[in-house]
Amino acid sequence: MGDRKPLISGNWKMHHTHLDAIAVVQKLSYALHDDDYDAVDVSVHPTFVSLRSVQTVILADKLRFVLGAQNCHWEDHGAFTGEVSPSMLAKLEVSYVIVGHSERRELFGETDDMVNKKANAVFGAGMTPILCVGETLDEREAGGAETKVDGQVRAGLAGLTGEQVAAMVIAYEPIWAIGTGRTATADDAQAMCALIRATVADVAGDASSSIRIQYGGSVKPANTAELMAQPDIDGALVGGASLEADDFARIVRYRRVSE
């Protein structure tokens, strides 16, 4: 991992009302301490309707984790009913925006081109994209996982400068492991994250040493330390296990388990 500070991100998906989100954020703040934040960056990604409420709590209580969003449109404004623009998120002091999550790709038909437009737009609004890539079970069993992920990374980075690539986050999330209870072994996760870093090096040179690569896919308190011990895994994109503050705090504090 070198000098890359880990980023642990909680993706709450379509869970929690704004009142629930406030309660989780407050409970999480009680569970984490300064040494946790010194070791790990933490972002929380509530639903759009909860962003303002969570932002208010973070600002009022001077909390050290940062606000993230789950998605955005690539246009700044226009006749796109139901969408949210990057500039709207930036005004809420959002720091990270997830783009190309497998559920967006698989359920809502987002293409590599759409995801790339979003990554560029997120940077254009002064925020940082978390670019998600990953293969299906059929693709893995057919021996096409590496080709799929390599292609997604290359498409996602198109048009970005080396400086932007160095600052962003890529999340490897094997689709077959999301919400299924199945987790890629630490060795398999490391191999794919190393492939991602090699692809970044081919596209953007030295940016590969700075870019942070997360693993996502049934991350739990019990497996975080082993995953995070891998040299090319710089964080975790956590789904279900981030919905409860106690579980998410244990993931953030994975170092205490391994010490």
For the chain, the C-alpha Rg in angstroms (whole number) is 17
Backbone φ, ψ for residue 42 (5° rounding): -130, 130
Chain centroid to Cα 176, Å, comes to: 17
Q: Is 77 a catalytic residue?
A: no
**Could you give the CA distance from residue 113 to residue 62 in angstroms, rounded to a whole number?**
38
Q: Shortest CA distance to 55 belongs to which of 94, 96, 15?
A: 94
Residues contacting 101, CB < 8 A, separation 6+: 11, 70, 71, 132, 173
Distances (CA, A) of 126 to 55, 88, 258: 17, 11, 36
**Could you give the CA distance from residue 116 to residue 121 in angstroms, rounded to a whole number?**
9
Q: Is 18 a catalytic residue?
A: no
Q: What tokens were used for 207?
A: 């940016």
| Crossing angle of the two packed helices 145-157 and 112-124, in degrees rounded to 10 | 40
Q: What tokens were used for 147?
A: 């080709």
Distances (CA, A) of 258 to 132, 188, 226, 229: 27, 20, 8, 9
| 3-state SS class at 44 | strand
Which position among 16, 73, 101, 110 bears the catalytic label?
101
Residue 94 near residue 88, CB atoms below 8 Å: no
Q: Shortest CA distance to 168 belongs to which of 159, 179, 180?
A: 159
| 3-state SS class at 46 | coil
Q: Which residues are catalytic?
A: 101, 173
